[in-house]
Amino acid sequence: TPSPLFMMEEMEIVDCDVAIVGGGPAGCTCALYTSRADLKTVIIDKNPSVGALAITSHIANYPGVDRSMTGEELLDQMREQATQYGTIYKRA
C-alpha cells in the first residue's frame, strides 16, 4: 500500500487577496462580499458533498428558499453566485 505522502498532489500556489477555508454558507457569503469588493478571492473547500447543509434532504427554515430545495442545491446556488462575481473555487 502506498504511503499517503506519495499520494499527495503537488502544492498549487494561488495569488489572492482573500483565502477562505470552507465552502459552506459562511464561506460563500464571505466570498460574495469580498469578490464584489474587487478583492481576488479563493474558496478552499474539502468535499462539497459533506457537511450538515449538504446532507440535508430539504430546507424548511431558510428565508427565501423553496421548501423543496435540498441542502446540496442551496450550496450549489451559493457557490455559483460567488463564482459569478469572480470567486475562484478550489477543492482541497
Q: Are strands 88-91 and 18-21 parallel, antiparallel or unpaired?
A: unpaired
Strands (E), the chain: 18-21, 41-45, 88-91
Q: Report the pLDDT value the prediction gives residue 5, as an integer from 0 to 100.
A: 57
Q: Report the pLDDT value the prediction gives residue 35, as an integer from 0 to 100.
A: 97
Looking at residues 27-40, what average pLDDT do you find? Answer: 96
Query: Among candidates 28, 44, 46, 27, which has minimal Cα distance to 84?
Result: 28
Per-residue pLDDT tens over the stretch 37-91: 999 999 999 876 777 777 788 888 888 887 788 888 888 999 999 999 999 999 8
Give the integer Cα–Cα distance in Å for 61 and 36.
27
User: Between 21 and 69, whose confidence is greater?
Assistant: 21
Query: Among candidates 34, 90, 25, 31, which has minimal Cα distance to 63?
Result: 25
